[in-house]
Amino acid sequence: MKRKTEFDIKSIRLANQGKSRIEWAEKQMDVLRLIKQRFEKEKPLKDIRISACLHVTTETANLMNTLKAGGAQVVLCASNPLSTQDDTAASIVRDFKIPVFAVCGEDRKTYYQHLKAALDHKPQITMDDGADLVSELHSKRKKQAKDILGSSEETTTGVIRLRSMEKKGILKFPVIAVNDAQTKHLFDNYYGTGQSTIDGILRATNLLFAGKTVVVAGYGNCGKGVALRSKALGAHVIVTEVEPIRALQAAMDGYEVTTMEKAAPRGDIFITLTGDISVVRKEHFLKMKDGAVVCNSGHFDVEIDIKDLTKMSKTKEIPRTFVEAYQLKSGKKVNLLGEGRLINLAAAEGHPASVMDMSFANQALAAEYIVKNNNKLAKKVYVVPEEIDVEIARLKLKTMGIIYDKLTPKQEKYLASWKLGT
């Protein structure tokens, strides 16, 4: 076994299984594959050091391989202690020769050691899912920030953190908000989270959704996807929201909208996707039915007050993998899934490759964009340029064999003119 400074994974012996699963995912990632083929020829990332902090999955493996094909020197660490697929990590190290610092179930200290190892690579580009690398570069590694050409951010929560840094005037380098690309959040957050969250809950519990009351906290793109899929499985869906426009949308999409306080005694399954803290808390646990299931699919494990749940409980059992049954003093049990971490990645495999294809196409092209526009970018949060976003959609349609309509010259002229009215 190599020293932990070179990589730190569970076991290199898992690599065969990882390799075959990475190849399986690659077959669904047609857009990324096209980018990889171009990168192989053009080498737009030649000798650029990239440190990525992402969920270590088969889809991420294909992104890492694409960056490497573009000439980058890549290092990967986990963006969540529970989401690493150890077999994938092993194959990335063995087959792609990319150092990985990630072990599924790692504790907080190891998680931060792994971030540190990724930053020891002296990156010029960082890639985050939750802004942890950027946060380290602004707190403990300030001197290194001047070497960063730019960073890219995968998720809503990370973009919120980064925009807050930009607003406070403390952001030290440009960031591309990959999450905000339409080909990312309209698909990954909606279809990806919608399917993979249900997948995680089913793998953890094997519960039947039909006839259950599912409480979805948060009606952003992720919540919308989960509500839709829960309804399709036959559940009665209650949505809780704090923003009036989203609450109204949920109501007009046909869901019952109410407060968590009112939903607490009625729900069978609670799913948080708000990006905020303490969404399900003490007063809610007290009102829940015996056997209620509570899980989170938001980025950080802060949405469910686990500390309160622990304090309120007299015992905790593990009836199944990924399920912790907390017995309250009243005798009722509340089942917490996946330690309150992203259930889709803790208990399942995250979003399917076909949707990650577009998210990671954005990541690969964002890295290329940072290198190409290195001198022009300010210390700001940028959206992915529209031409990149649209090109990804165009390529995805092409690889799906979908032919779509074109404007006629007459229609183009009409849209470009302002003279024709009533």
By the rule CB under 6 A, 364 interacts with ligand ADE:
no
Task: Give the shortest CB-270-to-ligand ADE separation in angstroms.
Answer: 20
CB-based burial label for 253 (10 Å; 0-12, 13-18, 19+): middle
List phi, psi (to 5°) of 98.
-110, 125
Minimum Å gap between C-beta 145 and ligand ADE is 25
Q: Where are the alpha helices (DSSP H) in 288-401?
A: 306-312, 343-346, 353-372, 386-399
- Which amino acids are annotated as binding site, given as ranges? 57, 129, 154-157, 184, 188-189, 218-225, 241, 297-299, 344, 351
CB of 36 to ligand ADE, least distance (A): 17
352: β partners: none
Please list every residue from 49 through 88 that binds ligand ADE, using CB under 6 A.
Answer: 54-55, 57, 59-60
Closest separation in Å from C-beta 297 to ligand ADE: 10
Distance between CA atoms of residues 111 and 362, nearest Å:
26
Q: Does 356 bind ligand ADE (CB under 6 A)?
A: yes
Least distance from C-beta 156 to ligand ADE, angstroms? 12
The annotated binding site for substrate is made up of 57, 129, 154, 184, 188
| Residue where the block lists tokens 């002296």 | 122
Interface with ligand ADE in residues 312-341 (CB under 6 A): none
Residue nearest to ligand ADE (CB): 350
List 340, 350, 363, 388, residue binding ligand ADE (CB under 6 A): 350
Q: Which stretch binds ligand ADE (CB under 6 A): 45-53, 145-153, 344-352, 401-409?
A: 344-352
Query: Quick check: 225 and 189 in contact, CB under 8 A?
Result: yes
Q: Which stretch binds ligand ADE (CB under 6 A): 9-17, 241-249, 305-313, 345-353?
A: 345-353
- Give, in order, the Cα–Cα distances in Å from 274 to each of 62, 151, 261, 279: 29, 24, 16, 8
Summary count for the chain: helices (H), strands (E): 18, 15
Tell me how far, at minimum, the Cβ of 192 lies from ligand ADE, in Å: 6
Cα–Cα distance, 61 to 84 (Å, whole number): 11
> Residue 40 has which token pair?
């192989």
C-alpha 121/C-alpha 136 separation (Å) is: 14
Q: Which is nearer to ligand ADE, 194 or 267 (CB)?
A: 194
Using CB under 6 A, pick the residue from 19, 121, 351, 396 that binds ligand ADE: 351
Q: Report d(CA 326, CA 288) in Å as an integer.
A: 12
- Residues interacting with ligand ADE, by CB under 6 A? 54-55, 57, 59-60, 345, 350-351, 356
